[in-house]
Amino acid sequence: MSEATDLLSDHIQHYIGAHHVDSADGDTFDVIDPTTNAAYISCASGKAADIDAAVAAAREAFDHGPWPTMQPRERARVLYAIADEVEKVHAKLAALESFDSGLPIRQAKGQANRAAENFRFFADLIVAQRDETYKMPGRQINYVNRKPKGVAGLITPWNTPFMQESWKLAPALASGCTVVLKPAEFTPASASLWPGIFERAGVPEGVFNLVNGFGETAGDALVKHPDVNLISFTGEAATGRVIFANCAPTMKAMSMELGGKSPAVIFADADVDQALDSTLFGVFSLNGERCTASSRILVERPIYDRFVEAYAERARKIKVGPPSDPDTEIGALVHPEHYDKVMSYIEIGKEEARLVAGGSRPAGLEEGNYLEATVFADVAPTARIFQEEIFGPVVCITPFDTDEEALALANGVDYGLAAYVWTSDVTRAHLFSHAIEAGMVWVNSHNVRDLRTPFGGVKASGLGHEGGYRSLDFYSDQQAVHIRLGDVHTTRFGATGYADNDLGLGGPSA
């Protein structure tokens, strides 16, 4: 028996209308241990019939249950209880996440706190929520009537899966929506903690539903379901395009958090030691399987050679090893299919650029999805490894001579998720940040989130921004209600020959 099956039963089910159930057709799939690629657990494989059942449960809870109409304070209490329950299972969550996705246990340990914080944050927001009211003196009073949008379909990826799920579940539930979650098929284990967490926190029946399965079957059925009011999706840009098209016939609201190829631009006047630490962490933490990874480092020519040498030296010392080892800095990539994709980019990179660190399976780790921290230098902007998202522990370093060239390199890809700017010149920091085509910019720092700020990308990195009140706006309809206070001029159509209306139908003047 493996460590993870000590924490789980050996079979993961769906959770529909407060019942743990298998697929209607009994189908299952195997979940793989990334350190051996051996199947270690089976999971129910959802299809359209299971999605139908989950959407029906969510619709019933939305139309007839207490959740959408609860007072914000009451809902916030439940969200706080969810956060407490998440923290109670932090050790189990870290172990499951590390085992299932190959994330180093040290990095998996922070996931429960981040997930819990998402629930507390949105609980606070709904209690403090204000909506606009406008007065036209003596004539009209107009206000926004905020209403939960309905049944939310949430589709999530396999990198830090539990945290990603919480980032959608918290604002959806806070807004009063009911939900159907479809987690990534590579990593279903940690999502199986949600039903217990929600039950113990007092979430009413049917508000949360979970259907496991593949994107092309369960995910597709959720996207196309006529009773689902919105889709919040995080995943690859290519999948986003398919979902975008599939949402069109039923005109669903969509939020898309997609891939990235984010630049870190390091000017010669920066604190280069800090930039070195930060960009090493920025691309090699979370196994490099990180949407906001600084996977293209652009370095000003006078410091380029020194930077590349120091970066490669540090990368060679990064400890790759079993995810459960507390000293491991890079664990095992999530799945053999993904590993093969990353390894194919290494071969492409060897043709396109100068390999200065890594590029191979580490010695002594003969099975499982292990790869050394890999650094390519002198990468041309036309190279595929510069342009395409690799989503593994692989980084490109490219020199530049002027601010204009740095900007052209930074913006010269399809993606626009995050950017990192390193300089001690305040004016340049602002102007360069404003000119970068990225949804989020950090100056002299890696990705440190403030939950109040917008999160999302531009170009191929996404559509719509969540974060803070923007998330609540996405999961709510904002209806404008206009109340007449005084006379409203009405042009009288068809009134020729009539002096006044006198229909004798009642009303204030009758």
Supply the residues annotated as catalytic: 257
Q: Residue 113 CB, nearest distance to ligand NAD (Å)?
A: 18
Q: Does 188 bind ligand NAD (CB under 6 A)?
A: no
Q: How far is the CB of 461 from ligand NAD (least distance, A)?
A: 6
Q: Compute the least distance from the CB of residue 219 to ligand NAD, in Å.
A: 2
State which of residues 33, 185, 300, 352 lies at the interface with ligand NAD (CB under 6 A): 185
CA distance 174 to 475: 9
The CA–CA distances, whole Å, from 213 to 38, 91, 152, 434 equal 19, 26, 17, 41
Which is nearer to ligand NAD, 254 or 421 (by Cβ)? 254
Nearer to ligand NAD, 216 or 277 (CB): 216
How many residues form the binding site for ligand NAD (CB under 6 A)? 31
What residue has token string 């279903």? 188
Shortest separation between residue 258's beta carbon and ligand NAD, angstroms? 5
Q: Which of residues 249-308 bind ligand NAD (CB under 6 A)?
A: 257-260, 291
End-to-end C-alpha distance for the chain, whole angstroms: 83
The maximal CA–CA distance of the chain, rounded, in angstroms, is 98
Window of 36-44, 153-161, 376-384, 430-438 that interacts with ligand NAD by CB under 6 A: 153-161
153 in contact with ligand NAD (CB under 6 A): no
Q: Do the beta carbons of residue 218 and residue 51 sit within 8 Å?
A: yes
Using CA atoms of 135, 141, 142, 147 in order, give the dihedral in degrees to the nearest 10: 130
Residue appearing with tokens 């949430």: 154
The CB-of-424 to ligand NAD minimum distance in angstroms stands at 30
Nearest to 301 by CA among 277, 267, 278, 270: 267
| Nearest distance from C-beta of residue 165 to ligand NAD, angstroms | 10
User: Using CB under 6 A, which of the segments 1-9, 35-43, 155-163, 168-176 binds ligand NAD?
Assistant: 155-163
Helix (H, G, I), strand (E, B) or coil at 333: coil
**Residue 397: its H or E element:** strand 394-400
Give me the 402-441 binding string for ligand NAD, x by CB under 6 A, dash otherwise.
---------------x------------------------
Q: Is 184 in the site for ligand NAD (CB under 6 A)?
A: yes
- Single out the residue of 157, 282, 358, 399 in contact with ligand NAD (rule: CB under 6 A): 157
Tell me which residue of 264, 202, 211, 183 sits closest to 23, measured CA to CA: 211
Cα separation, 485 vs 75, whole angstroms: 34
235, 392, 393, 416: which one binds ligand NAD (CB under 6 A)? 235
Per CB under 6 A, does 105 bind ligand NAD?
no
182 binds ligand NAD (CB under 6 A): yes
Find the binding residues for ligand NAD in span 305-344 (CB under 6 A). Answer: none
Distances from the Cα of 481 to the Cαs of 63, 358, 487, in angstroms?
Answer: 22, 61, 17
Rule CB under 6 A: say whether 217 interacts with ligand NAD: no
Under the criterion CB under 6 A, does residue 215 sit at the interface with ligand NAD?
Answer: yes
242 lies in the site for ligand NAD, by CB under 6 A: yes
Within 378-407, the residues that bind ligand NAD by CB under 6 A are: 389, 391
Q: Which of 220, 329, 352, 372 binds ligand NAD (CB under 6 A)?
A: 220
**CA pseudo-torsion sign 4, 6, 10, 12:** negative
| φ, ψ dihedrals at 151, nearest 5° | -90, 120
Beta strands 151-155; 178-182: pairing state: parallel
Name the one residue in this structure whose structure tokens are 């997930």: 115
CB neighbours of residue 510 within 10 Å: 8
Distance CA 189, CA 100 (A): 7
- At its nearest, how many Å lie between ligand NAD and the CB of residue 438? 11
Cβ neighbours, 10 Å, residue 447: 18
Scanning 7-15, 93-101, 234-242, 397-405 for contacts with ligand NAD by CB under 6 A, the matching segment is: 234-242
> If you ran DSSP here, which 8-state letter would residue 455 be given?
B
Which segment (125-133, 158-166, 316-324, 492-500) binds ligand NAD by CB under 6 A?
158-166
Q: Who's near 74: CB < 8 A, 6+ residues apart?
A: none
Q: How many residues does the chain have?
A: 510
Contacts with ligand NAD by CB under 6 A lie at 155-159, 164, 182, 184-185, 214-216, 219-220, 223, 234-236, 239, 242-243, 257-260, 291, 389, 391, 417, 457, 462
